[in-house]
Structure 1
Amino acid sequence: MDFIDVIKALGEKVSRMKDTIQTEEATKNAFVMPFIAALGYDVFNPLEVIPEFVADLGIKKGEKVDYCIQKNGKPIIIIECKHWKEELNVHNSQLHRYFHVCSTRFGILTNGIIYRFYTDLEEANKMDNRPFWEFNITDMNEAAVHELKKYQKNAFDVDQIVNAATELKYTREIKKIVGAEFSNPTEPFVRYFAKQIHTGMVTSKVMEQFTPMVKKSLQQYVSELISDRLKSALSNEANSAKEDQEQKADQTQAVAPSLPEDNSIEFTELEKEGFFIVKSILRTKVDSNRLYYRDTQRYLNILLDDNIRKTICRLHLNAAKKYISWTDNTGKEAKVEIGSLDNIYDYSEQLINSMMRFEKVSEPQTV
């Protein structure tokens, strides 16, 4: 099972079982330990995952953090757990104390549903007061799962995570500020717009007039932006359907062997993630809006310009063994087995060459 499937399955389990979990210890056993195991750490190996890790502070003895994950004998992540019904804000200071004495760069505060990630971006060896990242395991999107992969045992890299943490932290704070301004514009925010539009002094009366107009304008802008994207999506879908009809004869010839129409064909989460990985590889050479997929029972076709004659590669992900195939420069199909979706990146050059047979791009495009 791929990592995204494991995490989504755990999220579904948490949603299904939470009302039966009555204690903090049960929360740890049912929710948090499976989460640690999903990251690839052996929860039953005391050299790798230490429960009740001693974190004595000065003369205060007996302080213990719920879990400490180690790598090469050194702590890399500490995890403090609470019952799933508990509000995490009141427990921030407790993790702060543990962080100070555990010589680790990352701390997680969780109730088994919400996971908050902390580090020391503001002052070395002192945990920041606010988390740089937070997610709800019962509502995980692909971007969050991709970020979580950095904490897997086989991928853990302190420098890479710290760099990502910096961007996550400030992006998160900026989004909060923007959201607050959209809901209730502050005086400096309103004044910024008023000074560019109003001729004359921006008095209290002018501010009173502009405040509701700025709020209304922001809301209308977001609504129009969403509306435009929906129209664009519907238009693309209509154009795609029309092109499908025009190319029906070509498809019958190009796909061999032809498969009977089957309503059981499903675009799985695994295929979806594979499509986005290929898309991220090829977007350096071509506009990503020109990349499409068509699903069959046996494999997922990834096409240029939604044209079956421009098949870039095929992803075979619905069986126990997974493969990726493409056509090389000699016109022959190359097919290789992949252990996980991340292995698709190993064939970036081949995928780009396959795509370039249909599209000649002299310089990479910025998308």
Structure 2
Amino acid sequence: MMATNIPKQAVNQLKKALDNFKLNDAIELCANEAQTRKFLIEPFFEMLNYVSNDLIPEYNADFGERVSQKIDYAIVLNKKDTILIEAKKQNSRLTDKEAAQLNGYFNNTRNSKIAILTNGIEYRFYSDVLEPNVIDGKPFFVFNLSAYKDKDVDTLIKFDKRYIVIKEIIQTAQECVFTEDFENALFKELTEPTKDLLKIIHRNMNFKTKFNEGTQIKMRGFINSSLLKSLYDKKVIAESNSNSLGIVTTELEIQAYHTIRTLLIQNKKIPNERLGYRDFKSFFNISIDDNAKKVICKLVFNDSKMKMFIDNNEYALEHIDDVLKHKNELTNRTLALVE
């Protein structure tokens, strides 16, 4: 299935609308659920080009002979696909348990594949990937009006009335659930390695020993964070060496990255999960959020010399540890980018 082409201009327009939305003013007007709907939820969907007629309030979920129950809103697309929306009062804490009450509506509303739980600020998007007609335990996408990144806007635009394609969104949701499930299963396997995993590894080792209890205990002891970090670095280098772009990530660049990262995270204001790098054909960037506009420093390493650029300043390095001489400048640059 070919993905819908969404113009870059539309993404920029949505981001501008979100950035210009006076969130704090709206929050002050929200003392109850009705006001939350009026000043937060409805304007949010207006930014996604849904007019008042698209947002059907008190939508009747058909429970057959049972007592009729109404959900706060529904969006009916092309007279078939239905998005259900459960609204809570602003400042209500949203939990996945609260989403469970959507199950009844979800089960009994025809053609409903997406349900949204919101308090006007946080929007949790759910589907039924794991079990048909039963809402998944976790949302496949969360958008927060008070804290969002460019990648969140790139996902949100897919719900714009002009571009929304339910099948594509469900496919994305399936990918999200599969990826998370895979990561959890792999993490569990690496945290508590099973005999089956150890047997496969042992079978592929050149150093042959008996696969007994003692060997298994030794192997489990080897599988720790230090090993995984080392394997990660080797994987990065292997991938870069095998790609077709001529980009080769060297062990020296990886070593420099870890040295700089280690000195930066000594400052508690610098979140380690936002630090990263991207290799290019002639240089190596260390940045915040993998953002080309938030480069902490650029490394240019070749056979004859090593250089580091911090903003517009250029420094020659004799050894990797020379980066430590520039700790203050690296830290200040990073703090400015984080904020």
Q: TM-score, normalised by structure 1?
A: 0.52
- CA distance in 2 between counterparts of 1:233 and 1:29 reads 48
Matched, 1:6 2:14: no
Tell me the residue number matched to 2:101.
94
How far is 1:69 from its partner? 0.9
Kept after mapping to 2: 8 A contact 1:190/1:211: no
* Structure 1 segments unaligned to the other structure (5+ residues): 239-268, 273-367
What is aligned with 1:284?
A: none
Q: Are 1:36 and 2:45 counterparts?
A: yes
1:93 positional shift: 2.2
Identity of matched residues, % = 22
Superposed, 1:189-268 pairs within 5 Å as: 191=198, 192-197=200-205, 199-216=208-225, 217-222=227-232, 227=257, 230=277, 232=279, 236=283
Alignment equivalent of 1:63, drawn from 60, 64, 69: 69
- Name the CA shift for 1:27/1:212 in 2 (closer, same or farther; >3 Å): farther
Distance 1:175 1:33 in 2: 36
Normalization by structure 2: what TM-score? 0.55
Instruction: Select the residue among 150, 155, 171 that pairs with 2:158.
Output: 150
The answer as to whether partners of 2:195 and 2:216 remain within 8 angstroms in 1 is no
Aligned mates of 2:166, 2:56 — CA distance in 1: 20
Assess if the C-alpha contact under 8 Å between 2:100 and 2:135 holds in 1. Answer: no
Contact 1:78 1:108 in 2 (8 A): yes
Q: CA deviation at 1:237?
A: 6.7
Seen in structure 2, the aligned counterparts of structure 1 residues 121 and 231 have a Cα distance that, compared at 3 Å, is closer
Q: 1:27 to 1:204 in 2, by over 3 A?
A: farther
Corresponding pairs, count: 234
User: RMSD value over aligned CA atoms?
Assistant: 3.9
Contiguous gaps of at least 5 residues in structure 2: 1-11, 237-253, 259-275, 286-290, 294-339
**SS in structure 2 at match of 1:65:** strand
1:256-295 aligned within 5 A: none
Distance 1:78 1:195, change over 3 A: same
The answer to whether the 8 A contact 1:88-1:111 is kept is no
Deviations 1:84-143 (A, max 9, x none): 44242212321111012221222122334443323344555x134345612242443333
1:193-243 deviation per Cα after TM superposition (whole angstroms, max 9, x unaligned): 4554473444444333333421231134447757387484796279xxxxx
- Are 2:131 and 1:111 aligned? no
Q: Deviations over 1:37-80 (max 9, x none)?
A: 221101x32xx111221224244324221110123444521111
Partners of 1:134 and 1:73 lie apart in 2 by 24
Counterpart residue identity of residue 164, structure 2: F
Q: Within 2, Cα distance between the matches of 1:85 and 1:19? A: 14
Query: How far 1:152 sits from its partner (Å)?
Result: 0.8
Instruction: Find the aligned partners of 1:29 and 1:77 in 2 and give their Cα distance.
Output: 19
